[in-house]
Amino acid sequence: MATKFEEMAVVVSQKEIATDIYDLTIQTKEIAAAAKAGQFISLYCNDGTKLLPRPISLCGIDREAGTLRLVYRVTGENTGTAQFSKMVEGDTVRVLGPLGNGFELGDKKAFCIGGGIGIPPMLQLAKELNCEKTAVLGYRNELFLLEDFEAVCDTIIATEDGSAGTKGNVIDAIKANGATADVIYACGPTPMLRALKAYAEENNMECYISMEEHMACGIGACLACVCKTKDKDHHTNVNNTRICKEGPVFNAKEVEL
Amino acid sequence: MSDIKTSVNLCGVELKNPVMVASGTFGSGQEYSEFVDLNRLGAVVTKGVANIPWPGNPTPRVAEVYGGMLNAVGLQNPGIDVFCNRDIPFLQNYDTKIIVNVCGKSTSDYLEVVERLADEPVDMLEINISCPNVKEGGIAFGQDPKLVEQITSDIKKIAKQPVIMKLSPNVTDITEMARAAEAGGADCLSLINTLTGMKIDIDRRTFVLANKTGGMSGPAIHPIAVRMVYQTAQAVKLPLIGMGGISTAEDAIEMILAGATAVSVGTANFVDPCTTIKVVEGIENYMRKYGVKDINELVGAVHER
């Protein structure tokens, strides 16, 4: 019984929602119906010179309609993501997924914390968590997806330049707002995840973080995307675990950042 | 199916077709078995395994380059004990040949693994003397003909399965290494491993890979691999397994015409997990198109214009 599908997805819509941040919806045959919050998909370029799939997180999953919403950043000119950003309704793109483990939904009072391009996957999680929850979003300066989060749950934000919300990072925003929770779910840059891991330990909170790393296969074969683990990993038999397979979501206690 | 013969014989081991996978790109097949019927492959070549677990290199371990990629995984592997208890039994569920890639830092490391595999249900051993991403062992053995001959003969003394020596392209003359392996008693050669490369992040002004250098693979290296297989086929009598950038059946047939008895699909597995099956089917189509009854007619069949 296959749990991962390779298919040609069809672009339903795409628009730029902030500088270099694109909001893409694709129609899939089977992937969306099988997908969980926190999983990702591999998108392939239609170009023989760019070989490797681009791992992209799932911002939205509509299992009934079979669509996936992907909000991603274009990482530069002549990149694979730049190619994706030019796709329009009706275009097709080869996709493999759903990949990775995704978030386990709990019922404890939660923070859904996203930093930068780590914000999008927290939206689907916030939608699915059936408990008290607060979204905490950290931006450099330009905001995106804020209204989507506000439609789902209480949302507080931080910006690096102080142009909106708390000036500083997501932990500054939590403190400034006096927000509390029992569990953290987070995706974002490594320094943010490292700080949240420490914050969770100090405050006796559970903490689940979604990691990223350069990938090749996306399915656990090539051992490119590993992170260091506290204990010996069952598969690798060393203190390394595969982000694409055992992750991308880990209990922060289990990984070394 | 029965109108054409796709099976090939590699030093006494009969493969149902010449298509296998390149070590390190396919794990031990488990992850790809969701996409590919492993029964349809001539052989599965496993990721390199050492006498003890290896943690590999720091990340980032991979980078994309034009028409290819660099990797510096550093032969992370769970060690021979876990491998024998988990990976070999998994592969035994399939009707395909099992080729175990063996790596080591010293001669005794290699010998320990070869000895441990002697009584395992493994069809062939592929000895990695060409990994560019580890500081000790690996390529250090593969760039000096004296060392190539020595380690080949040391391994041959204790190996119970046919021994394939995997050659590096990072040498002045690959045929010199091929002859040395032949002199050491190798049963078969596989070539090429990756070409050492480097990528620099111009925004951060640093190396993309934590290891600075990595092995380049992918379609961009295919012509180099074809040339080296051709040269090696002229230089030795041993059967060859050709690899390096094979992404399509056409690439595989080129390699066979250049002199390879079998071929391995590597990086292309990352681009499309079903590549191997497409190559198997494409070779059959090519044979029918040109009325080739037996694939062995194609091996080394390139000729002067």
3-class DSSP state of B107: helix
Compute the average pLDDT of residues A234-256.
96
The token pair at A32 is 């969306």
Global pTM reads 0.95
pLDDT band at A1 (very low <50, low <70, confident <90, very high): very low
Q: What is the predicted pLDDT for the residue at A192?
A: 98
**B272 CB within 8 Å of a chain A CB:** yes
What are the Cα distances from residue A189, in Å, to A30, A194, A225? 30, 9, 15
DSSP-derived secondary structure letter, A119: S
| Tokens 């390394």 belong to residue | A240
ipTM: 0.93
Give the nearest partner residue to B64 out of A2, A50, A235, using CB atoms: A50
Angstrom distance (rounded) from CA B176 to CA B191: 13
Q: What is the predicted pLDDT for the residue at B136?
A: 67
CA distance A133 to chain B (A): 34
DSSP-derived secondary structure letter, B260: -
Q: Of B15, B16, B50, B229, nearest to B124 (Cα)?
A: B15
B77: nearest CA in chain A? Answer: A236
What is the tens place of the pLDDT at every residue in A196-206?
999 999 999 99
Angstrom distance (rounded) from CA B260 to CA B302: 11
Could you list the beta-strand ranges (E) of A67-125. 67-73, 92-99, 110-115
Q: Of B124, B128, B121, nearest to B90 (Cα)?
A: B121
Angstrom distance (rounded) from CA A129 to CA A172: 24
Compute the average pLDDT of residues A125-145.
97
CA distance A94 to chain B (A): 10
**A95 CB within 8 Å of a chain B CB:** no
Q: What is the predicted pLDDT for the residue at A2?
A: 57
Angstrom distance (rounded) from CA B13 to CA B8: 8
What are the DSSP calls for B12-53, one per residue?
Answer: TEEESSSEEE-TTSSTTSTTGGGTS-GGGSSEEEPPPB-SS-
What is the tens place of the pLDDT at every residue in A139-170?
999 999 999 999 999 999 999 999 999 999 99
Question: Which chain A residues contact residue B269 at CB under 8 A?
Answer: 217, 221
Q: Of A9, A39, A221, nearest to B73 (Cα)?
A: A221
Question: Which chain B residues contact residue A52 at CB under 8 A?
Answer: 62, 64, 69, 270-271
**B271 CB within 8 Å of a chain A CB:** yes
Angstrom distance (rounded) from CA B167 to CA B192: 6
Compute the average pLDDT of residues A238-243.
96
DSSP-derived secondary structure letter, B66: T
Could you list the beta-strand ranges (E) of chain B. 8-10, 13-15, 19-21, 43-45, 62-65, 68-71, 97-102, 124-128, 163-166, 188-191, 195-198, 200-201, 206-207, 213-217, 240-243, 262-265
Question: Which chain B residues contact residue A3 at CB under 8 A?
Answer: 34
Angstrom distance (rounded) from CA A113 to CA A135: 6
Backbone angles phi and psi of A163, in degrees to 5 = -70, -20
Question: Which chain A residues contact residue B216 at CB under 8 A?
Answer: none
Question: Which chain B residues contact residue A245 at CB under 8 A?
Answer: 31
Please indicate whether, in this complex, the C-beta atoms of A236 and B27 are within 8 angstroms of each other: no
CB neighbours (10 Å) of residue A163?
12
B73: nearest CA in chain A? Answer: A224
Bin A96: left if φ > 0, else alpha if -120 < ψ < 50, else beta.
Answer: beta
Please indicate whether, in this complex, the C-beta atoms of A51 and B269 are within 8 angstroms of each other: no
Q: What is the predicted pLDDT for the residue at A47?
A: 83
Residue of B11, B84, B103, B131 marked active site: B131
**B282 CB within 8 Å of a chain A CB:** no
Interstrand relation of B262-265 and B19-21 (parallel, antiparallel or unpaired):
parallel
Angstrom distance (rounded) from CA B189 to CA B179: 10
Q: Of A166, A162, A170, nearest to A191 (Cα)?
A: A170
Angstrom distance (rounded) from CA B215 to CA A166: 46
Please indicate whether, in this complex, the C-beta atoms of A226 and B79 are within 8 angstroms of each other: no
Q: Of B89, B111, B87, B100, nearest to B159 (Cα)?
A: B111
Give the nearest partner residue to A51 out of B34, B61, B271, using CB atoms: B271
Query: In B, residues 194-253, which contact A (CB 8 Å cutoff)?
Result: 218-219
| Tokens 């062995």 belong to residue | B296
What are the Cα distances from residue B192, in Å, to A95, A202, B64, B270? 30, 52, 19, 18
Please say whether the beta carbons of B225 and B258 come within 8 A: no
Helix (H) or strand (E) holding B156: helix B145-158
Helix (H) or strand (E) holding A166: strand A166-167
Instruction: Give yes or no: B84 in active site.
Output: no
pLDDT per residue of chain B (305 residues) written in tens, 0 to 9:
568 999 999 999 999 999 999 999 999 999 999 999 999 999 999 999 999 999 999 999 999 999 999 999 999 999 999 999 999 999 999 999 999 999 999 999 999 999 999 999 999 999 999 877 776 666 778 899 999 999 999 999 999 999 999 999 999 999 999 999 999 999 999 999 999 999 999 999 999 999 999 999 999 999 999 999 999 999 999 999 999 999 999 999 999 999 999 999 999 999 999 999 999 999 999 999 999 999 999 999 998 88
Q: What is the predicted pLDDT for the residue at B2?
A: 61
**B54 CB within 8 Å of a chain A CB:** yes
The HSE-up count of residue B176 (CA atoms within 13 Å, CB side) is 11
Nearest 5 degrees, angle CA B218-CA B102-CA B276?
Answer: 35
What are the Cα distances from residue B11, in Å, to A182, B162, B236, B293? 63, 7, 14, 21
Q: What is the predicted pLDDT for the residue at B135?
A: 66
Angstrom distance (rounded) from CA B67 to CA B244: 12
Give the nearest partner residue to B78 out of A219, A226, A236, using CB atoms: A236
CA distance B208 to chain A (A): 10
